[in-house]
Every structure is written in C-alpha cells, then in structure tokens.
Chain A
Amino acid sequence: MKTGPDLTVNLGSCVLKNPVLAASGTFGYGSEYGRFVDLSDFGGIVTKTLTPEPWPGNPPPRAAETAAGMLNSIGLQNVGVDAFVRDKMPYLREIDTALIVNVGGGPVEEFVRVTERLADCEGIDALEINMSCPNVSGGMDFSTDPRRAAGLVTALRTITDLPIVAKLTPNVTDIAQIARSVEDAGADAISAINTLRGMAVDIRTRRPLLGAVTGGLSGPAIKPVAMAAVYRIARQVDIPVIGIGGIMSGEDAVEFLVAGATAVQVGTASFVEPGAGASVAQEMADWCAASDVQSVRDLIGSIQIPPQEDAPCHPS
C-alpha cells in the first residue's frame, strides 16, 4: 500500500490497517487464496463459520447464479473447531493481517463450546458470531429475536475477552432493534448483513436450483438492502458497524462508510477477484487521495440527509 490517506480503523480493541475484510464463508481458512494472493494487503480475514464438530453441510446443488448475485445453501460445511485450531491456525497466525474467527452452532451451548476452545488461542483478534445463517435450522433464530440475540451475546461475553462482532440477518422487520439488543448485551461491533433468503426455480424441470430449496442471496444485487440496514443500524448504536453486501469496488466501500459503516467485508467479490480484499482497499485509498480525504475515519457516517419537509411519507 502506498503512503497516503490514513486507512486505519478500530473495531473495539481490534485495529485494522485498512477497513476491508474478507467475509466469512467466502475466504475459507485463508490458505486457499493465500497460495496466490498477498493477504497482508487485506484489512483482515474472517474465517469460515466453525461448529464444535466437523459439519457435512447441505445436499448439492449448493449455488446458483442469479441477476447480479448468487444464491448459496452451503449449510456451514466446516472442519470443526478442533481441526481449525490444530491445522488452520498455524498458517493464519503468520499472516500480517487482522484475524477474525467466525463462530457458529445450533443451540447456545455449541457457540459456547467453540468460543471456549478459541478463547485462549493465540493470534485471534476478534470473534464474529454467526447468529444469522439462513441455511441451518435454528441458527437464524438468534438474530430474528432481540432477546435470544442478546442472550447469545451475553453467554459468550462471560467467557471471552476478545471483541465480539455480532453478524445479523436482514431477514427481519427491524434490524436496528436487534442491533440495539446485542449492543446492550455487550457486543463490540455489528456485521450487517448476512445473506437474504432467496430461491430460484428451473421451470423446465420445475425443481429449485438449490438442493436445500431456499438459500442466501449475495452479491451486488443486495448492496442497496445492505446499505439501508447499515444506515439504520449506525444511527441507533454507538458500536462500530461492518457493512457487508455486494461490495465490488473502492467506491462501493466508501459508500458504506458514508452511510455509517466503520469497516466493510467483501464476500462474493472474492470469488470473482481473489485479491478483492486488497484491491478494494487500494481503490479506497486512491479515492480518498483524489477527494482530499485525509483519513477514512472522516468518511464514517458523513452522509448528508436533505431536509425531509417535502417528503411526508418518508419510510424510515
């Protein structure tokens, strides 16, 4: 990264060298893309959701491309927390970038087991709690109910000092309400959004394109939905918000910061451009330099909302 605008941002006690992270589930355990991408140019990496035991995942087909996006129904296939600590952490620990480990499970006890296993594992900068996977029954319930969401964060808050990032689903009526409840329960940051529930049908065979029938929509198609969620959450909580949804470019990332995000995650974009985590950060730096912005932190929440008098039916 060239010297230029200050790109550093903070997520609680976790300092990022730039605001761009690779999103969970789209970057494996780092080593896969690390074979040909320099991960030290990323602001950080969020690893694939871990469950206490290895998890087989959903029946295929698990992905389908749709307009400006894709559906997936992976179902959290992962190596399990023990294999992660044993086989994946030695590699991840050596990368010069922030490491956020994504924690999942069914009941609260499973999240607790994973978190306990990771709590004293050296090299982890924060935990992201996947309380919103649309592809595993039960998992999504946590972030559709403010009390259950808070209960999960509270349970984990007592067993780890690592910053806790709560990853929320957009498949709710009022995402800002869920965000407030996890903030009150002690979350240090909020990731928004997870995928939107979606479905596609092959009209020739009359079968769904996904083996699990429905799945999660990601990619540029969901960017406006994510933007609105980030904007509304950021106005209601004091902790940092990580914007996720369809980011493909530095300008997309700047847009999220202006709307209220402190950092962003690139997900589907990494499939298209494996170095997206670095290229989006570089494009942000270039944009800031060209726009006379000294620090990306000056962008956070800098949105200018025009007076609303002429809009009596403004929806939010």
Chain B
Amino acid sequence: MSTIPICQSDAEILSNREIGPGLFWIDLLAPDITRHALPGHFVHLVVSDVSEDSSRQVWLRHTPLLRRPFSIAERDPDNGIFGLIYRIVGGGTEILATRRSGERVDVLGPLGRALEPLQSGRPAIMVAGGVGVAPFLSLAQETVRDGRARPEEMTVLFGAATAGLLSGEEKFRKLGLHVKLATDDGSTGYHGLVTSLLERELDRSPDGCAYLYACGPTPMMRRCQEIARDEGIAGQVSLEGIMPCGVGVCMACVVPCVEPGDRLSPHRYERVCDTGPVFDMQEVVL
C-alpha cells in the first residue's frame, strides 16, 4: 500500500477537447491530487454527472456505475491542474467525452505505484502504444523539470494505428527528447509495430538503452518483456485493469505474477490498482 495520501476531489473540468479521432485530453482542477501525484500514478473518475439533481434517482445519476481509471499525463502543480489523455473505447469514455468545462467530476487519487524515476547516466527508452503514452508524458515532463536526467538520455518510441492517434508526441519534442514514431498504416514514421522499431533501435545503438519502460496494448508489452529479457535490460511495465475500487479492496484487477528469475513458480495474483499499475518488467505474466 502506497504512503502517498489519497484524496477525493470534486474536480472542475477546465477543458475537455478532442485531439485526434476519438482521442481526448481533459484538464482537471484538483490541487490536492496534483500536489501528491508522481509519474505513473493514476486517478479513478466518476465519469457521469452526479451533481445534485433531484429529478433523477441516484442509480440513474450513476450510469455507468463504476469509476474509470486514467493515468496522469501531465501535472501543473503551481496551478493545481492535471491532465489525462483518453480514447473512446466504451460507454464510460463516451460519456466522459460529453462532459464540458465548468462541470465537475468526482476524482480519487493519486493511486497506485509510481514509475521508477529516470536516472542520469542510465539512458532509457519508453515504448508507448496509443494512450499508453500518458505515464511517459508525465515522466518526461517531471524528469526534465527536476533536472534528474538530461532530455537526450531519454528516447520515446511511440506507436499507434495511425498518425492522428499519436497526439502528444510534440510535447516530448518540446522537452528535447528523442522521439520516433511507428504506425500500423504507415501514415507517419516507421511502418509497422513499435516493438519492431524498438528492436531496430537496440540493434543500431546497443548502449542506448539501460532501462526500458513499456505501456500499451498487452501484445506490445509482452513483446517488450521478451526483448528486455533477451537483451538483459531492466525496466518496468504499466498496466491497465478492470478496476471496480481502484484502492486495493475488491481484488478484481489482478494479474498473475512470478518471483524474479523464476517464471515456472506458482502464480500469485497481484492487484493492478494497488501493487501496480507499475510492475517490474519480468514480474507479471501478460
């Protein structure tokens, strides 16, 4: 269990805009959560409008019922604002996309285990698939802000189905990171999987990666695990999960885990929300 204080905030939506096809960015005003959040942390949102409205019964206000988890993509601690990136994938995100600035959302956070900080002298590659870019936007921003590592020690390999879904890459460039893109349809950057791009990068500069981060679709992260194991590179993955509670209570969002170095040992189930969402690269069985 994390020692970071958890806050429940009635956060104001400052903006909620479409930045790509079905892809959105939302900025929320929640100073307590913003103050304590670290890269890799997530928040748990009631996406529907639950503000007092006596004409609707409570259960109707709470449709969809459960909160939805989103990784924090950006933090402006001076103004108490954090940003999230999301894609419409179901009923919850569809409703979130209809919410307007000035409205409020109930937010729990910051939640989960944060990413291992970047270290100077340990060049790192972040492999992002789609909205899996969120924690790395946060990590890059905070690392540059703290001066913990130089931007040129960080490489982002960012893949998506098509160019329009690579929104956010300009933020990395602005921070001075190396950025390489991959698209399934070849509309921009490397034509193919971002994991193939990773293999190519590692071939080209074998000393260019001493630490590997991955967040994206499960097959992408599984391939990253294989590559990291073959190359002997340490790292972390950040996972999603179907999370009713988000704070370690309900035991629903578990993933099978193994002891380090022993992939044949009996599985234990760890909670993505509380033990994760960040796990050591070889710890989880994807």
Contact = CB atoms under 8 A, between A and B. Distances in A.
Contact of A60 (B244, B247, B255): B255
A57 B268 CA distance: 9
Interface stretch (A11-19, A120-128, A268-276): A268-276
Q: Which of B62, B245, B252, B269 has the most CB of A within 10 A?
A: B252
Interface stretch (A61-69, A136-144, A166-174): A61-69
A59 B246 CA distance: 18
B252 A63 contact: yes
Interface stretch (B4-12, B74-82, B112-120, B182-190): B4-12
B64 interface: yes
Contacts of B256: 59-60
Secondary structure of the B side of the interface? loop
Interface residues of B, number: 36
A36 B251 contact: no
B251 A77 contact: yes
A90 interface: no
B245 A248 contact: no
A33 B66 contact: no
B95 interface: no
A28 B254 CA distance: 15
A310 interface: no
Contacts, number: 107
Interface in A25-79: 25-28, 31-33, 35-36, 48, 56-57, 59-65, 68-70, 72, 74, 77
Contact of B247 (A33, A69, A77, A273): A33
B63 A68 contact: yes
A210 to B, nearest CB: 10
Given A56-B269, A60-B254, A274-B8, A65 B65 contact: yes
B58 interface: yes
A163 interface: no
B244 A63 contact: yes
B65 A272 contact: yes
A221 B244 CA distance: 16
Contacts of B67: 271-272
B278 interface: no
Contacts of B7: 36
B56 to A, nearest CB: 11
Given A33-B249, A36-B6, A62 B65 contact: no
Given A57-B269, A77-B269, A32 B247 contact: yes
A121 to B, nearest CB: 22
A61 B62 contact: no
B248 A219 contact: no
A274 B58 contact: no
Interface in B200-232: none
B244 A249 contact: no
Contacts of B242: 61-65
B267 A56 contact: yes
A70 B92 CA distance: 14
Interface residues of A, number: 39
Contacts of B253: 60, 62-63
A274 B46 contact: no
Contacts of A105: none
Interface in A218-247: 219-220, 246
B59 A70 contact: no
B108 interface: yes
A274 B64 contact: no
A63 B246 CA distance: 12
Nearest to B268: A56
Contacts of A35: 1, 5-6, 247
Nearest to B57: A249
Contacts of B59: 68, 220, 246, 248
B250 interface: yes
Contacts of A32: 1, 245, 247-249, 274
A36 B246 CA distance: 13
A70 B66 contact: yes
Interface string A245-258: 01011011000000
A36 B248 CA distance: 13
Contacts of B274: 32
Nearest to B8: A36
A220 B250 contact: no
A311 B253 CA distance: 48
Interface of B: 1, 5-8, 46, 57-59, 62-67, 106, 108, 242-256, 267-269, 274
6 contacts: A35-B247, A56-B268, A60-B269, A63-B244, A220-B65, A274-B8
Given A32-B274, A63-B253, A64-B242, 20 more contacts: A26-B245, A26-B250, A28-B250, A36-B6, A36-B8, A56-B267, A60-B269, A62-B242, A62-B254, A70-B244, A74-B252, A77-B251, A220-B65, A252-B58, A268-B244, A270-B245, A272-B46, A272-B62, A272-B66, A272-B67
